Structures are given as structure tokens and as C-alpha cells.
């Protein structure tokens, strides 16, 4: 079982991760036979479980999970609960889980889940607390009752070390402003991550600066017009590649006089990075950090640098 | 000729208000442009193109945004005038006809399934969809000789259908949710002059077509028989006007997304202030449309204290709703023509209406049994066994009971409302009560980070009550005039959807939960809540049975009713309370499902059931069965994914309604 889980992207990334910014969710499934039956209707809990080697019984929206969190791969037998906003309750009840882990944005459903099994809420994006600290704490909270506290601690230490190593690798880009976001396919707007999201914190921990200069929503993002990118001319833009919609956004922007006139576009400081789950747990944050580091390691420096 | 028939009035108030609005818009715009680029550099930015980034933003972002607001505002108002004249209903708009929903659905579907199509031309996709929707509306309504009622019914049904299908797409792809919603709520942000130029050309053509159509449309204002006697082909004139409006709507949606309300408010303002003839309306309504959208769009750019920019589609609604309320309060609406049930689609009376009622009740019971017992599990389709019943029924039973009682309540509420107003467009949502309940929930989401079931119920009840008090308060002095009631309801509903759109575009992950609830999901139903709703439904529907005499007499008109001895005001208040109670209770259980309230009574009427008491029972059974079936399909079709019952009901009921309308002899 563990062979299949470890194959593919995990091993490749382990080799590729020169500065240690690598997700090796490895020690994994040795204890699968005595594994508790835990359902994770949100991905933050699912990936946190996998990080300490406990496969979840059931996860919501399995297809998009596999797209957005390829490193933390789900075991083949995991049950798909459907929508993350409305996980299938009949199915969940029929599975008879021992425990259920949800995210704080699903808290309004907690009464339902409590009727099926004891339910624990993970709060990751919950201002004003640091979402990165929250993600670490969530991992510890998930691991402790499973007797995996040490694994969680090891994972957190490795993540911190990877961030530090990433900052070291990007030392010559210290203080460089970076904007991370999702292009809207109309080619006029983008969702950018700012204070309140762990993307923002990762930028800071990598020794970078967030180039987004507008206030963000409760969930740490802001919808901005493309023109607002001109406010930080020295920034680098990293946009998430979400497939065909991103292709459309790119083609809309190609013929756009404003876009082509933006300093960061003229200087070639724009790149696509693979998609990640911005409301996820520590493994998602690790993936995000690796994607940012990899993208910037190849990117030209700021105009002033 | 028509101009002679009407007293010619001074247009001074029109010019005065337009001037004042223009000054306000200019001041706001000057501030916006100044923020983009200091005024002394404006001329240089225009002459030496794109030298610096601020100059680029001034010339390619800020300026086209202003021009686009003029064009879209004028276009939507023009489309509104054309539709209102053609359909003879002041609530007609590109949204009423389904044009906006059709274009949005096409864009959303293409974005998910055929992005290559959009790459080839987004405008073309929206235009094709809008024209297709308009063509379907016209084809369906043709049997009714394109009568206003038939057109409005077909348009409204298609609008619900497209809106529901688009919502299903977003529910099933909710990682794309925020992206799709940005489109739906309309934003005028521009990055160059391309869309502006294309829109300008489209509007120029539309304006020319409207000018050419003005004479035949003016004659439409006369009674249709007289128009025909004057050599006018009524159907052709109407069809042409609708087609022009559809083209305008398509161009606007594909360029900037859905911007509602301008098409209703601008013509209303023009008319209130003295634009009486069609030519005056065709001149002044676009002017006010342009001004309104201009102000709204400049205004949202100055709301920096909000965390994200409000989509202008929402802003126009927020701005327009109070304007419409003010107008409704100050004047008695003249343009509203109440449609008598006599002209509404009526099937020949059923030979055995009682048997039809019994059959519908049996269908209701059967649907509930199947919905409880049969369903999909991990291992495939199966009936409940003694083994599985204990695990599954606690989740399934409340949803079936909730769906059944909510469907019954909404259908009865719709029936009462349609009987009371004599308007076949009337449904609980038109009254604004379900909007009020939903608004309560949305406001709760804005204020509180984590919300629980009791809080949600309290918020919904509070919102419904506030809406009811507002409706009664606003209408109290006028004796609850029916047309006024409808306009107030539309204002409330639009204001609500604007609030909801702001939340849905904010990138908040809880918006998926909100969307599911708004779409009529029974996911959150509890056994206690469902049983309470069922008991409440039985009691209120039984009480409504006591008003059967009023229901029989009220559609004959206030004069007749008064002559027979039905107290107009008291009867309306009682019925209104019953409708509000039914709607609020149903909304709290399954979200604002206006759709069942519209379709239920129509199905009953089309089945040939006419006596008020029979209609009440039949509507309750039909509505209940419809929503139970919809809920069952929604739970099983894409298992383990769930489609909300309200969307399913719309997707099943919409085509049925269209088919019935189409099959009906004129």
C-alpha cells in the first residue's frame, strides 16, 4: 500500500528539492492496519493527517484534491464525500467514522457532524492569529490524539528548516516584492493573497515582501484590478496555473495595452506556478513555499537589483 | 397621433434632474481621474500615448471605464423601454426576459467545458445564447399571439431555468466559484478601448433600430385591436423590439457581466418626471440610464473604506432599490397594467376536478415514500433495509419532510398571491418576503465569522418580518394597491441580490455554503425543524381554506369585490399575512425557493382545476410533490455530490412549464 502512495511526484520532488524545500510525507502507512477511521470533509485536515502518516477514511472533492495537492497523495481506497460545502451526510454516517475533522469555515455544520462522530475543528485562517502558526498547531492537534505528536513536531521542524533554507537560497532576492494570485479569465482582475493568508507569511519567511498593497478580506485575499499592479512596479507576479481558465486569462492579457505597459510585465517578472490550496494546512503551505522558491530561483531579479 | 392623445408636459424637471446628476457624476469622475493622474498631465497623457504607467492607467483604464458606463447604462435603459413598451409591463427588463441569465449561463458553461469557444469570441457566445433565449421565448409565446402574459411567463421561466443551470455549474465546480461570480455581478473595469468600441457600435445599431421601431411601438400603446385596425402587425413589432433588446442585453453581459435594475429604474424616472410619449422615453430613459450607471460606477471607486470593491452590478441595484421605493411612495404607478386571470393561460375546466385533486395528493404521498426508501449508497442503488434504515433515515427523513412541507407552503403562497393580485408573474419572491429572509442570513454572514443553525433561523425570521413590516408600512396608506406591492417586492429582491453578490465575490469560502442554501438546499433540515414546518404548513393552509370566498371574488377586481361585500383592505391584509407566514417558514427551512411558488399554481391551473378550495389543495400537493422529487433527484443524481432541491425543481419544472405554455391553444 505504501509503495503506491510514495511513488511518483513524492520521490521526484524529494530528489529535486535541493534546498530542502521538499514535502516528504513519507513514513506514512506502516500502521495502516490499526489506523483509526477518521473522516476529513476539508482538505486541511486530510493533508495534516497524511503528513503524520495516517490515511483519512473519507475526504471531500477527491478529484480537485489530487489536482491541487499532488505531493500529499491520497490512498486509492479513500471515500469521496462530494462537496466540501455540503459533504454527503448519509454516506458519512454509513461509514461510521471514529472521528471527524473539519475546518473553521465549515463550523456551521458541526451539529450534524457531532451526531455522527466526535468532531474537531481546525482553525487555520482565523485572523488576527497567524495562519502559519495555526496550520502548525492544527497539525499538532490532529496528531496528538493519534499518538503521532512526535511526527507532527518533526514535520513542523522540517518545515521551518525548509523555510529557512529557502530564505537562504533566495538571500540575493531579500526584500523583493512578490504578488501571488489567481488571474481572472476576463483579463482585468486577479485575486491576490495578502495579510491574513499564510501565503503572505511564507513570502515574509522566505525573506521576501508582499507586493499587494490593498486591504484583504477575512480570508486573506483581495480582488484587484490589473491596473493596481502598477502600484508596485518593482514587484514580481506569480499566478496560479488553474488550467484552461488561466490560458484564457493569458490570451486576454496578451492584446492588452495596459498589461504590456506594466513595468513588471515589461521586465518579464511574471510567471505561472502550479496551483495550491490556499486554505490548506501545513503540507499545502510547504508546497506553496516550494513553488514560490522554485519560481523565483529562476526568475530575473527586480529592476533595481 | 399618440402624442396628440396625451397631454404634452414640460420636460423641465427631466432636464433639471439630469443636469444635477451629471454634475454629481462629473465631480466624482474628476476625483477618480485625479487619483489616476494629476489633472495637469491629462492632456499630455491623451496626446503622447502610454509614456508612463499613470498615463496609461488614465488613458486606457479610467477613461474607457467612464465611456463604458455611459454606453451600458444607456443601452440597458433603451432595452428596458423597448421591452416595457412591447410587453406592456413596467417590470420587464433584460433580466425578466431571461437574456442576462442566458448569456451568463452560456459564458459559464463555455468557460468550464469549451474554453476554446470563448477564446474565439466571448461576445459571440453570449450573443448566440441571448438570441436563442429570445427566440425560445418568442416561439413559446407565439401560440398566445405574443401576448404580454405569454411572453413574460416564458421569459421568466427561461430566466429561472438558465439561472438555475448556471448555479448548478457553480455548485458542482465550487473551486471556480468566485471566478464565475465576478462575471455574474457585473464590473466595468476596463483595460483598453476594445470592448468600448465594440459596445459603441452595438448601441449605435440598437439606437437606429429603436428609432425605426418607435412608430409601430407607439401604436401598441393603443388597444391591440385598434392597432391591428390601423394596419399594424402587432406580433412583428413586438418581436422586433424584443430582438433588439436581446442584442443589447447580450452585448452588455458579454462585455461587463450582468448589470441589473438600470433597465427598470431609468425608464421609471423618465416617466415619473414627465416623459409620456414613447419618443420622450426613448430619449430620456437612456440618458438617465447612462447617468445612473456612471454615478454608480464612479461611486464604487470611492468606497475605499470597504475591503473589496463592490461590483457595480450590485451598486446599481443598491442605488436603484431606494430610488424605486421613493418613486412608488410618491406617485401612484400609472404604467402598471394588472393582468386579469381571464387573459392568463387557462385550460378548459377539467371534467372531474376533484379527481385531479385526489390524483395530485396521491402523487405527493407516493413521491414521499419513494424519496424516503430509495437512494444511492456507496454500493449503488438500493431500498432501505432494516439494517441501513437506522443509519440513513435520520438524515434522509428530515429532508423529505422539509422539502414536502416547504414545497406545499410555497405553492400555496404563490397561489394566494396570484389570486390576490391577478398577476401570473407574482410569486413569494416578487413580494420580497423570501428576499427579506435571505437578506437576514447574508447580513449575519457579514457580521459574524461563525454562524450556527439557531442564529441563521433567527436572522431569517428577522429579515422576513422586517420585509413584511416594510411592505405593509409602505403600502398601508395606499390601501395595499397591488401594483405598488409588486414594485416594492422587486425593489427588495434586487437590493437583496446585490448584497448577496458582494459577499459571493469577496473570495470568502463560506460563500459556497451560502450559495447552496440560497439555491434551495435541504441539507440543513433537522427533524424538529421539518416536523414544525409540516405542522405549520397544515395549520396555515387550512386557515387559508377559510378565505376561499375572497379568493373567488378578488380576481374580479376591487370594484366588483366591494360591491359583493368583500372588504378590500382587510381581505388583502389577511391574505398578505398568510403569504408572508408561509413564505418565511418555507424560506427558513429550505432557502428562498421562489420558483415553486410560481410553478405550482400554474401547474394546477393548467390541470384545469379552478375552484379556489380545490386549487389550494392541489397546489399544496403539486408543490410538495415537485420539491420532494427535486430533492430526491438532487441527492442521487451526482452522488455523493448533491444538487440543491431548488435548482433541481427549476431544471425539471422549467421545461415542463415551457412545454405546457407552448402546447396551450391561443
Q: How far is B399 from chain A (nearest CA, A)?
A: 11
> How does residue B215 score in pLDDT terms, banded at 50, 70 and 90?
confident
Per-residue pLDDT at B147: 61
Topology of the domain comprising B398-663: ABC transporter involved in vitamin B12 uptake, BtuC (1.10.3470)
Q: What is the average per-residue pLDDT within B526-546?
A: 90
CB contact under 8 A, B174 and A83: yes
CB contact under 8 A, A262 and B308: no
- Residue ranges per structural domain of chain A: 2-166, 173-298
Chain B interface test: which of A97, A129, A131, A185 (most B C-beta within 10 Å): A185
Measured in residues, chain A has a length of 305
Beta bridge partners of residue B377, listed in sequence order: B380
CA B161 to chain centre: 11
Q: Which three cell numbers stand for residue A268?
A: 518579464
Give the orientation angle of helix A149-169 with respect to helix A131-143, to 10 degrees.
Answer: 150
CB contact under 8 A, A79 and B378: yes
Q: How far is B307 from chain A (nearest CA, A)?
A: 6
* Residue (of B310, B244, B230, B304) closest to B2 by Cα position: B230
Residues contacting B370, CB < 8 A, separation 6+: B632
Per-residue pLDDT at B49: 60
Residues contacting A302, CB < 8 A, separation 6+: A173, A176, A177, A234, A235, A236, A269
Find the angle CA(B329)-CA(B84)-CA(B473) to the nearest 5 degrees. Answer: 20
CB contact under 8 A, A217 and B308: yes
Is the model's pLDDT at B289 over the cut of 90?
yes
* Residue (of B474, B348, B411) closest to B600 by Cα position: B411
Residue A178 has φ and ψ, to the nearest 5°, of -130, 140
Cα→Cα distances B587→B249, B410, B418, B518, B538, Å: 31, 9, 19, 9, 16
Per-residue pLDDT at A214: 84
In a 10 Å sphere around its CB, with 0-12 CB exposed, 13-18 middle and 19+ buried, how is residue B545 labelled?
A: middle
Give the orientation angle of helix B433-447 with respect to helix B482-504, to 10 degrees.
Answer: 30
CB contact under 8 A, A88 and B506: no
B80 vs A301, residue with greater confidence:
B80
- The H or E element spanning position A177 is strand A177-183
B65 vs B221, residue with greater confidence:
B65
Q: What is the average per-residue pLDDT within B84-103?
A: 79
Residue B190 has φ and ψ, to the nearest 5°, of -120, 155
Look at the alpha carbons of B445, B451, B453, B458 in this order and tell me if their dihedral is positive or negative. Answer: negative
Distance CA B245, CA B92 (A): 11
CB contact under 8 A, B53 and A90: no
pLDDT digits (tens, 9 = 90+) for B487-525: 676 667 667 766 766 666 665 666 666 776 677 788 888
B465 vs B368, residue with greater confidence:
B368
CB contact under 8 A, B189 and A279: no
Query: B 257-286 residues with CB below 8 A of A?
Result: none
DSSP 8-state secondary structure symbol assigned to residue B112: H
Q: What is the average per-residue pLDDT within B206-219?
A: 89
Distance CA B279, CA B283 (A): 6
pLDDT digits (tens, 9 = 90+) for B586-638: 877 776 655 788 778 888 887 888 888 999 999 999 999 999 999 999 999 98
Distance CA B588, CA B576 (A): 18
> How does residue B153 score in pLDDT terms, banded at 50, 70 and 90?
low
Chain B interface test: which of A90, A219, A243 (most B C-beta within 10 Å): A90
Q: Where in chain B is the domain with CATH 1.10.3470.10?
A: 24-93+186-330, 398-663
Beta bridge partners of residue A103, listed in sequence order: A122
pLDDT digits (tens, 9 = 90+) for A272-300: 999 999 889 999 999 999 999 999 987 65
Distance CA A12, CA B608 (A): 70
CATH class, domain A173-298, is alpha beta
CB contact under 8 A, B642 and A82: yes
Tell me which chain A residue has its CA closest to the CA of residue B306. A215
- The H or E element spanning position A237 is strand A236-241
Distance CA A55, CA A52 (A): 9
Distance CA B140, CA B126 (A): 21
Q: How far is A298 from chain B (nearest CA, A)?
A: 26
The count of C-alpha atoms lying within 13 angstroms of the C-alpha of A232, restricted to the half-sphere facing its C-beta, is 16
Q: DSSP for A184-225?
A: -TTSSEEEEE-TTSHHHHHHHHTT-EE---S---TTSEEEEE
Is domain B24-93+186-330 classified as CATH 2.102.10.10?
Answer: no
Tell me which chain B residue has its CA closest to the CA of residue A250. B119
Query: B 436-475 residues with CB below 8 A of A?
Result: 449-453, 456
Residue B640 preceded by cis peptide, ω within 30:
yes
Tell me which chain B residue has its CA closest to the CA of residue A251. B119
Distance CA A129, CA A231 (A): 28
Q: How far is B657 from chain A (nearest CA, A)?
A: 30
Query: B 163-222 residues with CB below 8 A of A?
Result: 171-172, 174-176, 178-179, 182-183, 187, 189-192, 194
Distance CA B285, CA B210 (A): 13
Give the orientation angle of helix A198-205 with respect to helix A131-143, to 10 degrees.
Answer: 100
* Global ipTM: 0.78
pTM for this structure? Answer: 0.75
CB contact under 8 A, B450 and A88: no
A302, A234 Cβ separation under 8 angstroms: yes
Q: How far is A81 from chain B (nearest CA, A)?
A: 6
B437, B585 Cβ separation under 8 angstroms: no
* Second-level CATH architecture of A2-166: 3-Layer(aba) Sandwich (3.40)
B516/A contact by beta carbon, under 8 A: yes
Residue ranges of chain A with per-residue pLDDT less than 50: 1-33, 303-305
Strand pairing of A236-241 and A270-274?
A: parallel
Q: How far is B257 from chain A (nearest CA, A)?
A: 10
A69, A284 Cβ separation under 8 angstroms: yes
Distance CA A120, CA A97 (A): 13
Amino acid at each position: 500500500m505504501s509503495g503506491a502512495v510514495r511513488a511518483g511526484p513524492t520521490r521526484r520532488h524529494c530528489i529535486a528539492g535541493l534546498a530542502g524545500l521538499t514535502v516528504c510525507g513519507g513514513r506514512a502507512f506502516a500502521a495502516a492496519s490499526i489506523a483509526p477511521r477518521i473522516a476529513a470533509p476539508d482538505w486541511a485536515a486530510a493533508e495534516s493527517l497524511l503528513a503524520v502518516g495516517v490515511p483519512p477514511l473519507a475526504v471531500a472533492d477527491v478529484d480537485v484534491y489530487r489536482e491541487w495537492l499532488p505531493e500529499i497523495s491520497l490512498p486509492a481506497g479513500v471515500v469521496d464525500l462530494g462537496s466540501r460545502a455540503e459533504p454527503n451526510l448519509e454516506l458519512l454516517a454509513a461509514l461510521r467514522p471514529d472521528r471527524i475533522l473539519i475546518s473553521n469555515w465549515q463550523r456551521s455544520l458541526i451539529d450534524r457532524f457531532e451526531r455522527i462522530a466526535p468532531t474537531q475543528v481546525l482553525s487555520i485562517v482565523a485572523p488576527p492569529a497567524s495562519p502559519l502558526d495555526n496550520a502548525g498547531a492544527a497539525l499538532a492537534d490532529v496528531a496528538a490524539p493519534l499518538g503521532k505528536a512526535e511526527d507532527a513536531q518533526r514535520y513542523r521542524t522540517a518545515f521551518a528548516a525548509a523555510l529557512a533554507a529557502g530564505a537562504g537560497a533566495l538571500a540575493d532576492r531579500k526584500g523583493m516584492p512578490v504578488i501571488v494570485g489567481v488571474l481572472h479569465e476576463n483579463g482585468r482582475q486577479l485575486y491576490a493573497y495578502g495579510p491574513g493568508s499564510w501565503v503572505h507569511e511564507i513570502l515574509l519567511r522566505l525573506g521576501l515582501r508582499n507586493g499587494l498593497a490593498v486591504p484583504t478580506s477575512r480570508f486573506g485575499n483581495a480582488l484587484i484590478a490589473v491596473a493596481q499592479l502598477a502600484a508596485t512596479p518593482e514587484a514580481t507576479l506569480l499566478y496560479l496555473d488553474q488550467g484552461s481558465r488561466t490560458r484564457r486569462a493569458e490570451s486576454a492579457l496578451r492584446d492588452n495595452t495596459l498589461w504590456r505597459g506594466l513595468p513588471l510585465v515589461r521586465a518579464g517578472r511574471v510567471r505561472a506556478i502550479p496551483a495550491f490550496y490556499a486554505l490548506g494546512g501545513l503540507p499545502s503551505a510547504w508546497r506553496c513555499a516550494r513553488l514560490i522558491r522554485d519560481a523565483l530561483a529562476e526568475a530575473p531579479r527586480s529592476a533595481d537589483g | 397621433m399618440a402624442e396628440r392623445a396625451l397631454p404634452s408636459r414640460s420636460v423641465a424637471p427631466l432636464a433639471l434632474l439630469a443636469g444635477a446628476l451629471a454634475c454629481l457624476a462629473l465631480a466624482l469622475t474628476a476625483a477618480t481621474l485625479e487619483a489616476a493622474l494629476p489633472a495637469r498631465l491629462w492632456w499630455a497623457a491623451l496626446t503622447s500615448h502610454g509614456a508612463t504607467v499613470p498615463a496609461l492607467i488614465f488613458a486606457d483604464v479610467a477613461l474607457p471605464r467612464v465611456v463604458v458606463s455611459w454606453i451600458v447604462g444607456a443601452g440597458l435603459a433603451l432595452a428596458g423601454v423597448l421591452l416595457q413598451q412591447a410587453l406592456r409591463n413596467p417590470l420587464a427588463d433584460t433580466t425578466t426576459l431571461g437574456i442576462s441569465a442566458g448569456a451568463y449561463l452560456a459564458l459559464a458553461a463555455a468557460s468550464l467545458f469549451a474554453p476554446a469557444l470563448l477564446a474565439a469570441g466571448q461576445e459571440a457566445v453570449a450573443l448566440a445564447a441571448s438570441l436563442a433565449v429570445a427566440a425560445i421565448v418568442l416561439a413559446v409565446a407565439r401560440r398566445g399571439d405574443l401576448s404580454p402574459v405569454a411572453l413574460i411567463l416564458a421569459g421568466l421561466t427561461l430566466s429561472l431555468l438558465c439561472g438555475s443551470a448556471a448555479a448548478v455549474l457553480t455548485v458542482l465546480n465550487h473551486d471556480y466559484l468566485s471566478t464565475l461570480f465576478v462575471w455574474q455581478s457585473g464590473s466595468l473595469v476596463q483595460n483598453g478601448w476594445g470592448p468600448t468600441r465594440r459596445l459603441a457600435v452595438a448601441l449605435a445599431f440598437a439606437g437606429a433600430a429603436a428609432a425605426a421601431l418607435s412608430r409601430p411601438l407607439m401604436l401598441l400603446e393603443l388597444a391591440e385591436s385598434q392597432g391591428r385596425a390601423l394596419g399594424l402587425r402587432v406580433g412583428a413589432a413586438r418581436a422586433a423590439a424584443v430582438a433588439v433588446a436581446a442584442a443589447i442585453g447580450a452585448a452588455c453581459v458579454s462585455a461587463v457581466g450582468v448589470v441589473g435594475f438600470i433597465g427598470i429604474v431609468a425608464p421609471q424616472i423618465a416617466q415619473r418626471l414627465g416623459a409620456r410619449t414613447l419618443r420622450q422615453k426613448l430619449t430620456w430613459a437612456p440618458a438617465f440610464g447612462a447617468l445612473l450607471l456612471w454615478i454608480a460606477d464612479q461611486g464604487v471607486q470611492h468606497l475605499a473604506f470597504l475591503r473589496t470593491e463592490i461590483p457595480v452590478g450590485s451598486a446599481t441595484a443598491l442605488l436603484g432599490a431606494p430610488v424605486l421605493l421613493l418613486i412608488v411612495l410618491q406617485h401612484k404607478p400609472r404604467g402598471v397594467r394588472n393582468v386579469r386571470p381571464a387573459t392568463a393561460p387557462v385550460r378548459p375546466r377539467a371534467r372531474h376536478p376533484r379527481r385531479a385533486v385526489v390524483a395530485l395528493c396521491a402523487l405527493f404521498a407516493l413521491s414521499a415514500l419513494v424519496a424516503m426508501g430509495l437512494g444511492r449508497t456507496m454500493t449503488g442503488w438500493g431500498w432501505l433495509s432494516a439494517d441501513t434504515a437506522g443509519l440513513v433515515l435520520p438524515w434522509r427523513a428530515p429532508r423529505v419532510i422539509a422539502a414536502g412541507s416547504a414545497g406545499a407552503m410555497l405553492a400555496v403562497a404563490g397561489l394566494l398571491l396570484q389570486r390576490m393580485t391577478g398577476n401570473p408573474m407574482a410569486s413569494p419572491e416578487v413580494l420580497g418576503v423570501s428576499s427579506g429572509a435571505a437578506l437576514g442570513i447574508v447580513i449575519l454572514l457579514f457580521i459574524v465569522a461563525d454562524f450556527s443553525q439557531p442564529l441563521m433561523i433567527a436572522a431569517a425570521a428577522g429579515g422576513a418580518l422586517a420585509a413584511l413590516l416594510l411592505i405593509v408600512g409602505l403600502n398601508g396608506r395606499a390601501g395595499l394597491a397591488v401594483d405598488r406591492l409588486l414594485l416594492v417586492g422587486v425593489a427588495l429582491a434586487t437590493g437583496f441580490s446585490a448584497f448577496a453578490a458582494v459577499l459571493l465575490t469577496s473570495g470568502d469560502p463560506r460563500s459556497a455554503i451560502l450559495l447552496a442554501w440560497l439555491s434551495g438546499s435541504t441539507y440543513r433540515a433537522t427533524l424538529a425543524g421539518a416536523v414544525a414546518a409540516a405542522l405549520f404548513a397544515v395549520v396555515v393552509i387550512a386557515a387559508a381554506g377559510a378565505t376561499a370566498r375572497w379568493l373567488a371574488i378578488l380576481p374580479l377586481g376591487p370594484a366588483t369585490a366591494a360591491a359583493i361585500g368583500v372588504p378590500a383592505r382587510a381581505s388583502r391584509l389577511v391574505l398578505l399575512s398568510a403569504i408572508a407566514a408561509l413564505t418565511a417558514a418555507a424560506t427558513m427551512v429550505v432557502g428562498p425557493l421562489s420558483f415553486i411558488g410560481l410553478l405550482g399554481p400554474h401547474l394546477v391551473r393548467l390541470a384545469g382545476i379552478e375552484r379556489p378550495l380545490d386549487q389550494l389543495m392541489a397546489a399544496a400537493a403539486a408543490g410538495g410533490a415537485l420539491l420532494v422529487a427535486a430533492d430526491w433527484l438532487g441527492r442521487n443524481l451526482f452522488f455523493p455530490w448533491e444538487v440543491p432541491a431548488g435548482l433541481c425543481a427549476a431544471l425539471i419544472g422549467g421545461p415542463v412549464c415551457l412545454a405546457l405554455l407552448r402546447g396551450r391553444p391561443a
